[in-house]
A and B are shown apart, each in its own frame.
Chain A
C-alpha cells in the first residue's frame, strides 16, 4: 500500500498529513504517537471511513482495497442491540449466510478470542474488556486480508492482552496484514514488525520494529519512548 500526500482536514483544520508512506509485504505494523496524533484518523482513512481531503491511497493488490476484505476494530466497540452471539454473527448475516450457520461460526470465533461468557446475553451487559473481545471476534468473521485495530487492548487485563496478542500473531501468520494502534510500549515491542510514529498529524518516523526501539531517529520518538511528555 502506498500513500502519497494524504491529508485529512476537518472544520478548516488539518488533522492529518500531508503524509507519504509505503507499507509493503505482510506483517504487523504498529501506529504509535500521543493522544490526538492522528492514529485513529489514519486507520479510518485507510479503511475508507474518513474522507481524504488530498492525496491518494493506493493498494498494490486490488483485492485488499475492497472494504469487505478489511476488518476494523474500533477504539470504542460498536454495540448492537442484540445478543453477543448475534453481534458477532452480524457480518456473515449481511453476506446472506443462514442465521444458524452464522451463529455457529460466531461461537467458534468467540472461543478463539477467549470470550468465555454467556453468548446469549445482551452485548451491553459485557465488561469493557469482553466488549473489545466481542468486537475483535466480529472483525474476524469475514476472515479479512487486512485487519485494522484501534487500541484493541486498551481495557484488557494482562491475561486477556496475552490471549489477544497470540491471536493476532496467529492470524498474521495466516497471511492477514495487520495495522494496529497502541499506547502500550511493551505490546508494541512484542508485536511490531514495523512502526509508524505519528505526532501532530505528521508521520515523524517509520522504521523496522527492532530498529525503532533500539535506535529511534527523531527527537520526538526518542522523547516518547523515554516516557517524556510530548507537546
Chain B
C-alpha cells in the first residue's frame, strides 16, 4: 500500500509513461468520437428522414456491443490477413484509438441526441417563428446545449479510460508501446506485483474521480443556471 503510494508520489517513470499513453489514447478517441458523435446526435435530433429510426436502432445496438467483441472485430480487420492488414496498425496505439472510437461514439451520439432533441422540442416554434436559418438553428441548439454535449463527451472519456477488453486485444499490452493503465493493472496483478497494480489503480481512480467531478460541476452550473 505504502509502496504503491510512493510509486505515485515519486512519479515512477514506468507509471508516468503508462498514464501518459492511457491519456493520449483515450483523449484522442474522445476527441474523434465527439467530432463524429456530437454532430450525428444533433443531426438525428433535428432532421426527419426515412432512415432515422434505423440509424438510431443501430446506435443503440452498437452501444450494447461488448468491448471484447469490438476488439475482436478490429483485430480481424487489421490483422495481417484482414482487409486493412497492409496498414500494419495492429498492436499500435492507433488501433487502440480506433477500437475505443467504435465503443464510445454511440454513447456520445446517443446522449447528445437525447439532449438536443429535448432542446429542439422546446425551441422549435420560436426558431421557426424568428425565421432562423438551418445553420442558425443548429448553432443555437449546440450552444444552448453545450453543457449536455460536454457531459456526453465526458461520459465517453470515462468509458474509454476504464476500458480493458478491446485495447488488450488490439493493442497487445506491449511494454513501452501499447501498455495502458487498465491492461497494465491486469498484467501486474497476474504477476503478483500488487504494489505496481495498486499504484496504477490509484491513478485510474483519480482520473475517474476527475471525470465525475467534471460531470458534477457541469450539472451544477446547469441547475444553478449560471450562464
Chain A residues in the interface with B (C-beta under 8 A): 47-49, 67-68, 70, 72, 74, 78-83, 90-91, 94, 121-122, 124-125
**Cβ A72 vs Cβ B144 within 8 A:** no
Known: A67-B131, A68-B131, A91-B130. A78 touches B125 (CB 8 A): yes
**Cβ A94 vs Cβ B130 within 8 A:** yes
Measured CA separation A121–B224 after assembly (Å): 10
A49 contacts across to B, CB distance below 8 A? 125, 128-129
**Cβ B129 vs Cβ A72 within 8 A:** yes
**Cβ B136 vs Cβ A94 within 8 A:** yes
Q: Which residue of B lies closest to A69 (CB)?
A: B131
Known: A82-B144, A122-B227. A74 touches B125 (CB 8 A): yes
Q: Taking each of B130, B136, B226, B227, which has the highest tally of chain A beta carbons within 10 Å of its own beta carbon? A: B130
Chain B residues in the interface with A (C-beta under 8 A): 119, 122-123, 125-126, 128-132, 136, 140, 144-145, 225-227
Measured CA separation A132–B35 after assembly (Å): 38
Shortest distance between the CB of A28 and any CB in chain B (Å): 20
A82 contacts across to B, CB distance below 8 A? 144, 227
- Choose one: A48, A68, A122; the contact of B225 (CB below 8 Å): A122
Measured CA separation A42–B52 after assembly (Å): 31
Shortest distance between the CB of A3 and any CB in chain B (Å): 20
**Cβ B122 vs Cβ A79 within 8 A:** yes
A121 contacts across to B, CB distance below 8 A? 225
A122 contacts across to B, CB distance below 8 A? 225-227
Shortest distance between the CB of A119 and any CB in chain B (Å): 14
Measured CA separation A48–B125 after assembly (Å): 11
Q: Which residue of A lies closest to B129 (CB)?
A: A72
**Cβ A78 vs Cβ B123 within 8 A:** yes
Q: Which residue of B lies closest to A122 (CB)?
A: B225
A67 contacts across to B, CB distance below 8 A? 129-131
Shortest distance between the CB of B135 and any CB in chain A (Å): 11
Known: A80-B123, A121-B225. A94 touches B129 (CB 8 A): no
Shortest distance between the CB of B96 and any CB in chain A (Å): 37
A124 contacts across to B, CB distance below 8 A? 225
**Cβ B227 vs Cβ A81 within 8 A:** yes
**Cβ B126 vs Cβ A78 within 8 A:** yes
B226 contacts across to A, CB distance below 8 A? 122
Measured CA separation A43–B123 after assembly (Å): 18
Q: Which residue of B lies closest to A87 (CB)?
A: B126
Q: Taking each of B119, B123, B125, B226, which has the highest tally of chain A beta carbons within 10 Å of its own beta carbon? A: B125
Shortest distance between the CB of B194 and any CB in chain A (Å): 48
Measured CA separation A42–B18 after assembly (Å): 65
A-B contact pairs, 12 of them (CB 8 A): A47-B129, A49-B129, A67-B129, A74-B129, A81-B119, A81-B225, A81-B227, A94-B130, A94-B131, A122-B225, A122-B226, A122-B227
Q: Which residue of A lies closest to B145 (CB)?
A: A81
B126 contacts across to A, CB distance below 8 A? 74, 78, 80
Measured CA separation A121–B144 after assembly (Å): 15
Q: Which residue of B lies closest to A141 (CB)?
A: B130
Q: Which residue of A lies closest to B119 (CB)?
A: A81
**Cβ B129 vs Cβ A90 within 8 A:** no
Q: Taking each of B119, B126, B144, B145, which has the highest tally of chain A beta carbons within 10 Å of its own beta carbon? A: B126
**Cβ B225 vs Cβ A90 within 8 A:** no
**Cβ A78 vs Cβ B144 within 8 A:** no
